[in-house]
Structure formats: structure tokens, C-alpha cells
């Protein structure tokens, strides 16, 4: 037998062993849909599929990262946990269904409903950067920034100058960025901020072939966007720190985002989320009276912070979204750049429509990601058949992640409505309670709808056979995207 035949026989034998082993192993670790997708890949490409699973298959975090998180929580005595327990009993005046929903949010994210907040909705990148830079220029004690993408360019330059000026005044400036999302910044510009006295750290540094004490699979990312100044002004939403075309990523189309500038007790919750991420990555504890000043009432808005990610036992945001859909009565509007629903979300959407709820789903007419965009389209048949309205946004890349339910419940944050955001990424979302809060988000959604065209069921049925095949194939891998 030749060497070539021996190698071929060894490959075939090892392929069979891989298939059999993974057939026994993978179903124990994943949901049926995710397990099926992985097994399908391994069946056709045993060795490549096995290597990919080794890199990207596990969603569990390294034990040291979990231990650091638990160490932080144990170190927070009751008088230092104000960002988690603010006005814990102040939600009794809300309608019963909202009180129950708030209790679910607290159970999942360990943060309660807060009242006494005020917010400003920002829908343009330039306005977001100007506002944030102005607050940094007025900072007295601390500036804490956490972003997935962080870039120094002509639009964001005012923020970088404001950071350098604040550090020169003695303000403690800390910047935490995702190691993959902000990779160009870390290579090119991070040293300039460090030279100016600003702490710059990276979250979840990827290691392609090995796990570190705090990093798991390569594609677990910190997708949160948080800014907190002096513990009194906060920002969160879908804006990254970059110019709105994202470097011409989608042939010059501009990203359309929404961010909230917040004042009031909820800012301390944002500070708490930043503090946890900072501690896990650096082991530096940021508890101080300056970082967590006594909360002050600033308005009438009722807001709750719900962090999510693989460090939590449940898929926090997915549970909230599904629960809200089941409780909807009249109208639900969802805006998201990426839609890959799991079975629970898909069934909740269908059930709500069957119950007489009008559901309007607004997504980009053109996606910036080939696989994700086509996998999403594979679900259009089921959604249109159920009666969900699909609106295709035409004025750039819709990147806002929002949801409104009837007239008294709204969501805004960093999480897409896909399996990755629900299960893999570290995300942060706000829940807003009440008519005024919901109306502000709904107005922005209505602007998006006005810049969109509705996809007709008949038009979708008449798409080409080639597109049907493409959507069907990419759908098989949607649990992995």
C-alpha cells in the first residue's frame, strides 16, 4: 500500500471517528437547532468542521473570568451597591403587567426599575459625538467609555481632543474597547491616548488557538456601548465611536443609529455595568463616592438597565423580548440591522400576530453582511405568511436596535434580534416604561418606516429559484451566525 493510500485511509478513518464522536457530544451541549447546524457542517467537512467547532463551538466562559465576576459581586457590600438597588420598591404605582415585567428584568439582570430620569434621544453620529465631547469637556472627576468600535477620524476627533484635555486637567479617563471591534484603533491610535494619561484597555482579547484565563472562543465579543461622566451623565445605544459610513464599509452608505443621553439614577446602573467589565479585564476596583454619587432626580422617565451576555445563566434580552411579545395587545415595532430569530422568538412573533397584534419589522434594505443578511431573508416566508409586516429601510444602513410594545413599553440598546446577540455577545439594553418614554422611541421608529418600503408577500414569493436556494442554505447555518 502506497503512502498516499495510507494517508487517505487514515483521513477517512479519522473522519468517521470525528463524526461519531461529535454526534454523541454536540447534542449534549447545544439546543437541537444549533446542534443540527454543527453536525451538518461536520458531516460534510469532518476535519474543518471539527476545527471550527473547537474554536467557536463553546459559549462557556473560562472559570477565572467567572470567578472574577463573582469576586466583584461579593466585594460589594450593601451600601456600595446603590446602582443595583435604587428605589427598589418604587414601581408599585406602575400598571400590574409592567410591575411584573420589571420584576422579570430585575431577576435577569439584577437591576431594578428606576424613576426620576431624563433623557435626550440622539439620531445622528455627529450630534452624538458633539454631545459626548461637550460632557467630557465639563467632566470634573471621571470619564468612563466602553465601545465595540472606537476610531479616531474627522468626525470623532473632537471627542479625542476632549479626552486629552480632561486628562490634562486631572480627570481620571478610562477607555475600554473590544479587542476585535476596535483593533485598528488599538494598533494605530491607542498609544496617543495613553501618552496623554488616559487608561486604554481591551476587552476579550482574541486568541485563535487557545483560551486565556478571561477569554473563551474567538468570536465572543463585548458589544456594549457605554459612556459615563462623573457618575451623573450617561450614554448608551447603538452608536459606535466612528464616522457614520464606518470607513465606507457598505459602499458609502451611512449607518443610522439611536443613542440616549441620560441623567438621573439610571446612570449609576450604567456605571455599574462599566465597573464590572473594567474589573474583569483589569482587576481594578472603581468603587468610590465620586464614581457612585448619591442619585439625583432629574425628570420623570422610568428606565431599567438590563445587561446580558454569556456570564448570565439566561439569555436575558431574548427572555424579555419574548415576554413582551406575549404581553402585547395592539402594536409592536422592531428595528434591527440583523434578524435571525431563534424558535422562541419566531413563535412569539407568530403568536402575537395571530392574537391580533400588528407587528412591523424594520430592517435594512441592503445588509452589510452577506451571510447574515441572506440567512435573515430565509425567515421572511414564515413571517409574511403569519402576517408580520416587513419594511425595508432605504436611507442607508439601519443600525438602531429598538422595540416598542403598545403605548407603554420600549427597548433601546446594543442588542440585535439575532442568536449571536442573544447568546454570545455582551450586550446592554434599556427598558423604558410609560407613554412618554415609549412615544419618544416610537416617533423615531415612524421616521424609519417613512423611509422604508413594505415588502409584499406576492413579491417575495416571486423571487428567483437561485435566491431561494441561497436563503435556504444560509438558513441552515443561522444558529452559528
- Residue range 63-305, CATH number: 3.30.870.10
Q: Concatenated DSSP letters for 307-344?
A: EESTTSSS-HHHHHHHHHHHH--SEEEEE-S-EE--HH
Q: What percent of the chain has pLDDT over 70?
A: 83
- Is 401 a residue of the active site? yes
Q: Is the pLDDT of residue 88 over 60?
A: no
Q: Among 61-75, 199-213, 375-389, 466-480, which is the least confidently predicted range?
A: 61-75
pTM: 0.86
Asked if residues 426 and 69 have their Cβ atoms less than 8 Å apart, the reply is: no
Q: Which one of the listed residues 377, 399, 471, 475 is annotated catalytic?
A: 399
Assign 19 to helix, strand or coil. helix
- Is 406 a residue of the active site? yes
Give residue 79's pLDDT.
46
pLDDT tens by residue, 416-459: 998 888 888 999 999 999 999 999 999 999 999 999 999 998 98
Q: Is the pLDDT of residue 164 over 90?
A: yes
Give residue 463's pLDDT.
80
Q: Among 210-214, 300-304, 412-416, 447-451, which is the least confidently predicted range?
A: 210-214
Distance CA 379, CA 363 (A): 13
**pLDDT, the chain, mean:** 85
User: In the chain, what are the helix, strand and coil shares in percent, each to the nearest 5?
Assistant: 45, 20, 35
Give residue 317's pLDDT.
94
For residues 404-413, give the mean pLDDT: 96
Q: Among 102-111, 283-292, 394-403, which is the least confidently predicted range?
A: 283-292
Give residue 426's pLDDT.
93
Q: Which one of the listed residues 69, 225, 377, 471 is annotated catalytic?
A: 225
- Residue range 316-480, CATH number: 3.30.870.10
pLDDT tens by residue, 212-240: 555 555 668 899 999 999 999 999 999 99
Give residue 324's pLDDT.
96
Q: Which one of the listed residues 135, 406, 408, 418 is annotated catalytic?
A: 406
* Grid cell of 316 as nine digits: 436575558
Q: Which one of the listed residues 30, 144, 223, 377 is annotated catalytic?
A: 223
* Grid cell of 256 as nine digits: 443610522
pLDDT bin (cut points 50, 70, 90) of residue 183 is: very high
- Is 347 a residue of the active site? no
Q: Concatenated DSSP letters for 121-165?
A: EE--HHHHHHHHHHHHHT-SSEEEEEESSB--STTTHHHHHHHHH
Q: Which one of the listed residues 30, 377, 401, 471 is annotated catalytic?
A: 401
- Is 92 a residue of the active site? no
Q: Among 258-267, 394-403, 415-424, 452-461, which is the least confidently predicted range?
A: 415-424
Q: Is the pLDDT of residue 112 over 80?
A: yes
398, 411, 401: which is closest to 328 by C-alpha?
Answer: 411
Give residue 445's pLDDT.
97
Backbone angles phi, psi at 33, to 5 degrees: -65, -45
Give residue 94's pLDDT.
78
Q: Is the pLDDT of residue 117 over 50?
A: yes
Q: Which one of the listed residues 230, 257, 277, 342 is annotated catalytic?
A: 230
Strands 142-147 and 172-178: parallel
Which residues of the chain are in CATH 3.30.870.10 domains? 63-305, 316-480
Q: What percent of the chain has pLDDT over 90?
A: 54
pLDDT tens by residue, 325-374: 999 999 999 999 988 888 899 999 999 999 999 999 999 988 767 677 67
- Is 446 a residue of the active site? no
Q: Among 52-66, 147-161, 441-455, which is the least confidently predicted range?
A: 52-66
Phi-psi bin for 51: left (phi > 0), alpha (psi -120 to 50), beta?
alpha
Q: Is the pLDDT of residue 39 over 90?
A: no
Q: Is the pLDDT of residue 476 over 90?
A: no
Give residue 163's pLDDT.
98
Distance CA 253, CA 372 (A): 18
pLDDT bin (cut points 50, 70, 90) of residue 61 is: low
pLDDT: which is higher, 474 or 185: 185
Give residue 278's pLDDT.
94
Amino acid at each position: 500500500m502506497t503512502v498516499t493510500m495510507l494517508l487517505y485511509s487514515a483521513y477517512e478513518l479519522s473522519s468517521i471517528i470525528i463524526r461519531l464522536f461529535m454526534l454523541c457530544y454536540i447534542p449534549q451541549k447545544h439546543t437541537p437547532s444549533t446542534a443540527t447546524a454543527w453536525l451538518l457542517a461536520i458531516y460534510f467537512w469532518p476535519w474543518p468542521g471539527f476545527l471550527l467547532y473547537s474554536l467557536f463551538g463553546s459559549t462557556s466562559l473560562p472559570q477565572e473570568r467567572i470567578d472574577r465576576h463573582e469576586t466583584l459581586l461579593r466585594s460589594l457590600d450593601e451600601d456600595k451597591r446603590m446602582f443595583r438597588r435604587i428605589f427598589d420598591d418604587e414601581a408599585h404605582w406602575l400598571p400590574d403587567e409592567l410591575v411584573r415585567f420589571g420584576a422579570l428584568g430585575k431577576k435577569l439582570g439584577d437591576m431594578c426599575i428606576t424613576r426620576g430620569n431624563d433623557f435626550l434621544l440622539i439620531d445622528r453620529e455627529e450630534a452624538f459625538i458633539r454631545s459626548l465631547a461637550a460632557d467630557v469637556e465639563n467632566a470634573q472627576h471621571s470619564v468612563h467609555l466602553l465601545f465595540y468600535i472606537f476610531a479616531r477620524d474627522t468626525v470623532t476627533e473632537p471627542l479625542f481632543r476632549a479626552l486629552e484635555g480632561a486628562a490634562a486637567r486631572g480627570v481620571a479617563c478610562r477607555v475600554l474597547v473590544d479587542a476585535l471591534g476596535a483593533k485598528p484603533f488599538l494598533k494605530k491610535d491607542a498609544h496617543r491616548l495613553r501618552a496623554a494619561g488616559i487608561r486604554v484597555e481591551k476587552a476579550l482579547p482574541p486568541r485563535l488557538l487557545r483560551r486565556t484565563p478571561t477569554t473563551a472562543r474567538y468570536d465572543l465579543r463585548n458589544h456594549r456601548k457605554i459612556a459615563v461622566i462623573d457618575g451623573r451623565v450617561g450614554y448608551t445605544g447603538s452608536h459606535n465611536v466612528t464616522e457614520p459610513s464606518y470607513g465606507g464599509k457598505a459602499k458609502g452608505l451611512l449607518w443610522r443609529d439611536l443613542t440616549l443621553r441620560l441623567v438621573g439614577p439610571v446612570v449609576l446602573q450604567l456605571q455599574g455595568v462599566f465597573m464590572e467589565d473594567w474589573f474583569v479585564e483589569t482587576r481594578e476596583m472603581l468603587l468610590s463616592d465620586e464614581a457612585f454619587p448619591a442619585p439625583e432626580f432629574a425628570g420623570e422617565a422610568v428606565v431599567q438597565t438590563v445587561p446580558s451576555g454569556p456570564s448570565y445563566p439566561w439569555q436575558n434580552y431574548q427572555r424579555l423580548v419574548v415576554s413582551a411579545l406575549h404581553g402585547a395587545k395592539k402594536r409592536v415595532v422592531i428595528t434591527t440591522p440583523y434578524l435571525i430569530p431563534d424558535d422562541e422568538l419566531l413563535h412569539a412573533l407568530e403568536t402575537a400576530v395571530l392574537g391580533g397584534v400588528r407587528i412591523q419589522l424594520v430592517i435594512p434594505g441592503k445588509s452589510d453582511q452577506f451571510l447574515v443578511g441572506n440567512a435573515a431573508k430565509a425567515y421572511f416566508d414564515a413571517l409574511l405568511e403569519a402576517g408580520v409586516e416587513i419594511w425595508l429601510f432605504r436611507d442607508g444602513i439601519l443600525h438602531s436596535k429598538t422595540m416598542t410594545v403598545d403605548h407603554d413599553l420600549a427597548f433601546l440598546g446594543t442588542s440585535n434580534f439575532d442568536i449571536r446577540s442573544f447568546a454570545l455577545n455582551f450586550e446592554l439594553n434599556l427598558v423604558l416604561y410609560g407613554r412618554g418614554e415609549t412615544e419618544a422611541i416610537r416617533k423615531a421608529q415612524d421616521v424609519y418606516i417613512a423611509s422604508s418600503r413594505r415588502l409584499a408577500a406576492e413579491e417575495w414569493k416571486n423571487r428567483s429559484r437561485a435566491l431561494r436556494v441561497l436563503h435556504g442554505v444560509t438558513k441552515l447555518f443561522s444558529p452559528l451566525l
